[in-house]
Amino acid sequence: MRFVAVFAATAVVALIGTSAMGQTTTTPATTATPMTTTKTPSTTAKQKAAAPMQSDISKACSAQADAKGLHGKERSKFRSQCKKNGGKG
């Protein structure tokens, strides 16, 4: 009799546990809000338009280091300084 009670309790816990794990949370649907018109772009948009991508700067600095034939610590130091100057060695 005791074995049946333990087995039944284990089965109930297993069923409750698996149903709880199967539940997923859903994200609430976003409501459409009217777009507001602004005459000035956001700061991030200005920064993206004005500054080249970091990968472009890194590539430019690497090309300059290659042209100068730099290796090792000298190359690392040059590239670091170049990146701080926005790709202008």
Residue 78 pLDDT greater than 70, yes or no: yes
Q: What is the pLDDT of residues 2-11, one digit of tens each?
A: 878 887 777 7
* pLDDT of the residue at 8: 77
Quick: pLDDT tens for 54-72: 888 999 999 999 999 999 9
Other beta carbons within 10 angstroms of residue 33's beta carbon come to 6
pTM value? 0.42
Q: DSSP state, 70?
A: -
Q: Give residue 18's pLDDT.
A: 61
Rounded to the nearest integer, the mean pLDDT of the chain is 76
Give me the amino acid identity at 39.
Answer: K
Break the chain into its structural domains and give their ranges: 52-89
- Higher-scoring residue by pLDDT: 49, 81: 81
Question: What is d(CA 52, CA 40) in angstroms, rounded to the nearest whole number?
Answer: 20
